Structure 1
Amino acid sequence: MKQRDFGRTGWRVGEIGFGAWAIGGSWGDVSEDDAVATLHAALDSGVTFLDTADVYGDGRSERLIARVLRERGDAERPLVATKAGRRLQPHAADGYTLENLERFVDRSLSNLEVETLDLVQLHCPPTEVYDRPEVFGAMDRLVEKGKIRFHGVSVERVDEALRAIRQPGVVSVQIIYNLFRQRPADDFFPAARAANTAVIVRVPLASGLLTGRIDRSTQFASDDHRNFNRHGESFDVGETFSGVPFEAALEAVEALRPLVPGNAGGMAAFALRWILMEDAVSVVIPGGRRAEQARGNAAAGDLAALPAETMAAAREIYDRIVAPHVHARW
């Protein structure tokens, strides 16, 4: 797998990582056996960057990663990024204290069975957190204590990403960027390059829509966020189908379908390769619930670069069908 620099950390990571939300929860039932097989398949395929969070399955995702890395023994260890903050009840800016963050970090250290966490990201905190240097100072303190190596943020909106990189200790920003959410390339990526900030791209397949396998008849389980969060009932609606209304998203998928090269192996690989055309991206983290999904995603980096006319056509579809619903909001 091709490697990319991870900002100013000195790390090199495989350009396609693995997002471990689905194996934790909120995507319907995923058995432990399937989750373990999926993680092994990702790592066997060259993935060197795993992304999780302490709230994915109330720690299940972190514990599954620890189990798989234990089973692999002396195999080269991937970098593991986790997140903290969403355990707060209520999830409010005043809860982002050193005491609370250290408690969350200690729990992740236990779940992941390590002495130091590679990367801890504030997990889509309230917007006012980005203007509180004391919060980022608390993360710096956890670095000084040796509990974390680096810290970053996972954001909902471009303006939050721009504010985050002004904090000197922030080495990475995780953001939604895909064929349905193209604004980061316009407004954020140039600033990230200038700051040498790593960019982690999440929701690359728009909750499965950009696999081309979802249609109007697709049914989702009651515990799948694509059922219970379509209108933002539980968390930011932008995390589900990238915030695009379902009917408009399906229209855009059909418009994109003719752009997929015959040798691409499907729309999912095409959508991932489209993201990798952006050199500001350090790693893209598609998820998966089955081993074959992990293997297919990891192979997307082997596709040839997309021609300029394909990139232009994809932008035209975005501008015409998708942007009116999402561009100004996130």
Structure 2
Amino acid sequence: MKSRQLGKTGISVSEIGLGTWQVGGRWGTGFNEPKAQEILEAAIEQGITFFDTADVYEGGKSESAVGALKRKYGSNITMATKCGRRFQPHTTETFSVNGIVQFIEDSLRNTGLEQLDLIQLHCPPTDIYYMPEYFAALEKLQEAGKVGHVGVSVEKVEEALKAIEYPIVSTVQIIVNMFRQRPTELFFREAQKKNIGIIARVPLASGLLTGTITKNTTFAKDDHRFFNRSGAAFDRGETFSGVPLEQGIAAVEILQQRLTSNYNMPLLALRWILMFDAVSTVIPGASRPEQITSNCEASDVPPLSDTEMNVVQEVYKEYIAPYVHQQW
């Protein structure tokens, strides 16, 4: 497993991390603690040192499981968590600085830690990025020793660009994949100028880029890929990266035809993200230990050729960009 710097935090992290939305369950449902521990330990065995969770993943159970891992391995791993999604409805009006402070206290209690390595605002409404009082509050918590570093998890490039204007912000978590390429343009350049750590989430576009989803694939009713395609529960960009399912399936088939590599589609999709030096770590999820092993192989995949990169760009421009590029 290769490592990269997490921006100006100065922390070295595995370039393949682990997103824990579905750890111990299926896309965040049906948490199973022994299964979660098995997956987390499998990640450690594969050399993963960066773990991302949130207070809303299974009502804090995922956060508690990753917190226990952090207590066990200490500074050998980096734990990132997120707060803010508990404000309901998820609007500017329901947000409050006091609420954010309380959520962080709750996360400290959930994890059993005295300090959170990295706390991230969890995809707040766009207006929040224009309210300095939230970032001032996070700075005070850092000064008090309750958080080591501060970051944001965003939906839109606009939000990412605004967030990194605040000196307290060290990392940005954003959707980046073969089907969500806009962040690689202006945002990546600006982030590198300010030494911002970029955490690439939804790297396989909710499974689309594994090449295993077909028009006949069915999803359980409690799976966001069933109920959130139009954004009924949260930003639709989180589901299939906002790409209409049928269009995404067609684009993946074309990619598989044109990319004649010996490596499978998910490994190529992960390696494509790692082609960008601005990225610090990629955080695919896993609901089984064997998925961990498979994802980590991407760290050893050779760089994609110019021809392969051009193929991905061409397919994106023709089949995907019209649906997503200006949306996020």
Report the TM range for the smaller structure's normalisation. Answer: over 0.9
Q: 1:73-123, CA deviations, whole angstroms, 9 ceiling, x for partnerless residues?
A: 457631000001111123232444332112101111111111000000000
**Paired position in structure 2 for 1:253:** 252
Task: Tell me the secondary structure at the aligned position of residue 61 of structure 2.
Answer: helix
CA contact 2:84–2:124 (8 Å) conserved in 1:
yes
Comparing 30-39 with 201-210, greater Cα deviation is found at: 30-39
Tell me if the contact between 1:14 and 1:49 (Cα under 8 Å) persists in the aligned partners: yes
Contact 1:51-1:82 within 8 A present in 2 as well: yes
> Could you tell me which residue of structure 1 aligns to residue 198 of structure 2?
199
Alpha-carbon distance change, 74 to 59 in structure 1, aligned in 2, over 3 angstroms: closer
- The sequence identity of aligned pairs, in percent, is 50
Q: Give 2:55's aligned residue.
A: 54
Deviations 1:100-152 (A, max 9, x none): 11210111111111100000000000101111111100110110111101111
- Aligned letter for 1:35? A
Return the TM-score normalized by structure 1: 0.95
| Aligned residue in 1 for 2:11 | 11
Q: How many residues align?
A: 327
Hey, what's the Cα distance between the residues in 1 that align with 2:143 and 2:74? Answer: 29
Question: 1:64 & 1:314 partners in 2: Cα distance?
Answer: 37
**8 Å contact 1:24–1:59 — kept in the other structure?**
no
Whichever residue aligns with residue 272 of structure 1, its letter is L
The CA RMSD measured in Å over matched residues stands at 1.6
Q: Structure 2: which 5+ residue stretches go unaligned?
A: none
Is the 1:260–1:270 contact (alpha carbons within 8 Å) kept by the matching residues of 2?
A: no
- For 2:161 and 2:96, locate their aligned partners in 1 and report how far apart those are by CA, in whole Å: 22
Quote the Cα distance in structure 2 between the aligned partners of 1:25 and 1:138.
34
Task: Point out which structure has higher relative CO (alpha carbons under 8 A, 6+ apart).
Answer: 1
CA distance in 2, matches of 1:30, 1:117: 23
Deviation larger for 20-29 or 280-289: 20-29
Query: Shift of residue 30 of structure 1?
Result: 5.4
**Mapped partners of 2:26, 2:145: distance in 1:** 32
Query: Shift of residue 263 of structure 1?
Result: 3.4
Alignment partners' CA distance in 2, 1:23 and 1:204: 16
After superposition, where does 1:181-330 map in structure 2 within 5 Å?
181-260=180-259, 262-264=261-263, 266-330=264-328
CA distances 1:293-330 after superposition (whole Å, capped 9, x unpaired): 01111121100000001000100000000000000101
**Structure-2 change in CA distance of 1:77 and 1:11 (3 Å):** same
| TM-score normalised to structure 2 length | 0.96
Map of 1:33 onto structure 2: 34
Q: Which amino acid aligns with 1:42?
A: A
Asked whether the 8 Å contact 1:80–1:118 carries over to 2, the reply is yes
Q: 3-state DSSP class of the match of 1:8?
A: helix
Answer yes or no: is the 8 Å Cα contact 2:16–2:283 preserved in 1.
yes
Partner of 2:89: 90
Q: Provide the rounded CA distance (Å) in 1 between the counterparts of 2:113 and 2:142.
A: 15
Distance 1:25 1:85, change over 3 A: farther
Residue pair 1:84, 1:123 contacting (<8 A) in 2 also: yes
Distance in 2 between residues matched to 1:150 and 1:286, nearest whole Å = 22
Task: Tell me if structure 2 keeps the 8 A contact 1:24–1:57.
Answer: no
How far apart are residue 29 of structure 1 and its match? 4.1
CA–CA separation in structure 1 for the residues paired with 2:73 and 2:16:
22
Post-superposition offset of 1:204: 0.2
Q: Which moved more, 1:119-128 or 1:253-262?
A: 253-262
